[in-house]
Amino acid sequence: MKAYKVYAINDGTVIDHIPNAKALKVIDILGLENKGILTIGIGFSSAKMGKKDIIKIENKYLKKEETDKISLIAPSATINIIKGGQLKEKRKIELPGEYKGIIKCLNPNCITSVKDVKTRFKIVGRSPLVLRCHYCERIIKSGEVEIL
């Protein structure tokens, strides 16, 4: 088996256990394309997942709103906060009770599509992810999700 070298970061966030081939989507939804140094690993071997992706973001610590976005694509991901070259915090991504202002409602007649009202979605199914709009009750499945 060939060993791969992935360089450590001194300060920032490591997102581990991203489903294979989803790292670029995570970067896209977080808007990190031109925001400093990113290290992206795609297709690493994983005992748990078979194959996984990893993202290292130097000098950035993710907020709850950002990890909520990640939960839409990689609900099994792990967030590792690195400070001074040391692991300071490790937590699993958790599905929030509700997504607020993150997902677009696909119903053109929903009040969120017509007026300046922040979207709200409740989780009605976890595996696979199924969401329901708080206002119009439209059901959206994980493959249909459009992130604002």
Q: What digits encode the pLDDT tens for the residues 94-141?
A: 888 899 998 999 999 999 999 999 999 999 998 888 999 999 999 999
Q: Do the domains at 12-92 and 98-144 have one common CATH topology?
A: no
What is the CATH class of 12-92? Answer: alpha beta
Among 87, 139, 130, smallest CA distance to 110 is for: 139
Task: Give whole-number Cα distances, 67 to 92, 115, 116, 139, in Å.
Answer: 10, 27, 24, 22
Task: Give whole-number Cα distances, 101 to 17, 98, 105, 112, in Å.
Answer: 26, 10, 10, 10
pLDDT at position 106, please? 95
Q: What is the mean pLDDT of residues 35-60?
A: 89
pLDDT at position 138, please? 97
CB 117 within 8 A of CB 101: no
As a whole number of angstroms, the distance between CA 104 and CA 117 comes to 11
The two three-digit tokens of residue 65, written as one number = 């709103």
The two three-digit tokens of residue 32, written as one number = 């990190």
Q: Is the pLDDT of residue 88 over 70?
A: yes
Domain boundaries, the chain: 12-92, 98-144
CATH topology of domain 98-144: SH3 type barrels. (2.30.30)
CB 37 within 8 A of CB 58: yes
What stretch of H or E contains 86?
A: strand 86-92
Dihedral sign (CA 19, 24, 28, 32): positive
What stretch of H or E contains 95?
A: none
